[in-house]
Amino acid sequence: MAVVSGSIDNFRVLSDGRIMVGGWAFFDKANKKACSTLKYSDQTVEVHRSNRPDISDTDNFGFHFHLNDEYQLLELVLNKSFLTATYESESKALGVWAKLKERIYEHLISSFVDKTGEEYQSKLLVNMIHSVRGSKQPIESNGQEYSKFDLEVGAVTFDSNVIVGRDSQLFLFEGSNKLHLQYCKDESPKLVSNWLNLIESRGKYLAAENIGFLQLIVPEKQSILHDKYPLDVTTPTANLRVLEEELKEKVFYSSVYDLFSNLYKHSGHNPYQKADTHLSLVGVSSLAQLVLTHFGLNYQIDLGEVEFKRRSGDLGNKLVIGKAFCEELHLSDCEKMFNGSDSLKLVEKFDPPNGHSGALRKWINESAPIDKSIVIMGNSVSERGTSQFGLSWWLSRVFKRTTFCWSSAMLTNIIEDEKPDYVICQTVERFLPTVPKS
């Protein structure tokens, strides 16, 4: 049976602020015929026919119309307004293509983020999530729940990167490391053995150089906040669970998993940011204190006064482009926290032309409370000292000399150059399936 087919599949913002929306429509796929009428529900909007070479070189199966502002565009994408294509007695209300809905919601939230409150942004997020999920199989959580920003608990973004947890917690779901699958697998004895051998060899090398050593493995958010994660998984991942057991008595290991578990379960503090995979202020400052305690250094970090700042996290930005989901984070007044922090100087900086690996930072702090030097080799948990949510920011204010290198391997050339008192090798749970060379 011949029917009307069509879709709204493109839009662009014009220089005068209007929005041009376009699409295509015809009757009978086998013998395409132009529709007799194309009408928009708002009769003030005039629909113009146009050529669509991707459908036909001769017939005008395309159309376009102009909307005055983003509010009219929002009505269209929420099905408050619509375009009807008719051929004789056959009619169809044309929908907005799912991929175009994704782009429209990104544009709308970017446009509205400074004009509306969080409640309005939340409604946009809800509609975007449901639209771009399309035919993806929904994730079954334990009963239908909704997070505090009205997204269904267990909802997964169209790219499978983010899953919505309870109490507005966002979690990394897949990502490049297929994180969720790691929670579904048994441990790999060979992988665990390779990690143990690597960490032991690091310890022996540094002990021979009379350098203090600490291996850090930072657990994933769902390994600690498993009650907020919408799926029933055993935490931590099997590989980390076995490594924790094997390393707990080693002099060069301190368990971040135990530290964060105690913070969360017994003290009620969340070590992670809600909309980010990275650590909260409490989490990173506690990690810095763990470092000092491990090396037997008598210095206590006191957060003191805090201020508030709006910030969108790496998961919030994956949820939708345009800083759609934000949270309040505590930022310390570092001048009151650290005496002489104004003497901190960045003396060397290198960034690779592509990616992060190999990035280097060196600081000297003549007024540091601890007259020692430290080298950190890690990733974004340690970062490059520009953010208070990275470990190197804290340690550079405590130690006289601090070097950070973005590296999964322990680079002996940097250790030989710096001759530090202490070395930290830091990784995260989701990176465990890949063992560094050194």
CA distances from 336 to 283, 302, 322, 344, 434 (A): 19, 10, 34, 14, 41
- The DSSP call for residue 172 is E
pLDDT of 319 reads: 60
Q: How far apart are CA 352 and CA 354, in angstroms?
A: 5
Q: What was the pLDDT predicted at 230? A: 92
The helix (H) or strand (E) run that includes residue 90 is strand 90-94
pLDDT, tens digit, for every residue of 167-187? 878 899 988 889 999 999 999
Return d(Cα 171, Cα 221) in angstroms, integer.
Answer: 7
- Please tell me whether residue 55 adopts helix, strand or coil conformation: coil
Alpha-carbon distances of 87 from 3, 36, 40, 55, rounded to whole Å: 9, 5, 15, 18
- Per the DSSP assignment, residues forming a β-bridge with 33 are 27
pLDDT of residue 332 exceeding 60, the answer is: no
Q: Which residues of 44-62 are buried (b: 16+ CB within 10 A; e: fewer)?
A: ebebeeeebeeeeeeeebb
Q: How many CA atoms lie within 13 A of 59 on its CB side?
A: 13
For residue 320, pLDDT beyond 90: no
Alpha helices in 233-350 (DSSP H): 238-247, 256-266, 281-294, 314-319, 334-337
Contacts of 53 (CB under 8 A, 6+ apart): none
Write the pLDDT tens digit of every residue in 42-78: 989 999 999 888 887 777 899 999 999 888 888 888 7
Please report, rounded to a whole number, the percentage of residues in the chain having pLDDT higher than 90: 58
pTM above the 0.75 mark?
A: no
Lowest mean pLDDT among 130-134, 155-159, 382-386: 130-134
Q: Which two tokens stand for residue 438?
A: 């050194």
Contact status, residue 316 vs residue 275, Cβ threshold 8 Å: yes
pLDDT digits (tens, 9 = 90+) for 80-104: 889 999 999 999 999 898 778 878 8
